[in-house]
Amino acid sequence: MKYCLIVDFQPGVIDAPMEEWAPEEIEAHLDYYEALRRELSASGELVESAVLAGPDLAKVVTFDGVTAPVVSDGPFQEFKEWVAGYQIVDVDSEDRAIEIAARISAVPGPGGRATQQPIIVRRMMDASPSNVAEMDGWLETARGVVR
């Protein structure tokens, strides 16, 4: 089963922005992520890992299918969370995905203290819905909506 472990810009229990951390605290933070990446790569569980550009470089695209697409520059304050990055893992169970997410959440911050940053765990579908019945099933599990 594949899961997407999503890291957003929520700080967890650390109030100080990274700009205020000591260089060795930033180094420890990055080293922790790298060690976890190597471990998950070696176990074959890490499918993909990415850090995304900041929200100030984001674009929102809408298209009516007829006229030219409308492209708006970021940042967009109406969005509650900004995805900072993600890991896609292929694991035997949801419990294992949660275990990995917990390790990501424990990344050290100032003073070596675990940041406890919230990590969103979402199972990835094997295939997209391809007919009305499959879409109804997806909607039922995704948000409790049934036609």
Model confidence pLDDT, tens digit, residues 27-56: 999 999 999 999 999 999 999 999 998 888
pLDDT in the model for residue 75: 62
DSSP code for 114 = B
pTM of the predicted protein model: 0.83
In percent, the amount of the chain with pLDDT more than 90 equals 63
Span 110-129, mean pLDDT?
A: 92
**Please, are residues 50 and 37 in contact by the beta-carbon 8 Å criterion?**
no
- Residue 147 clears pLDDT 70, i.e. is over it: no
pLDDT in the model for residue 146: 46
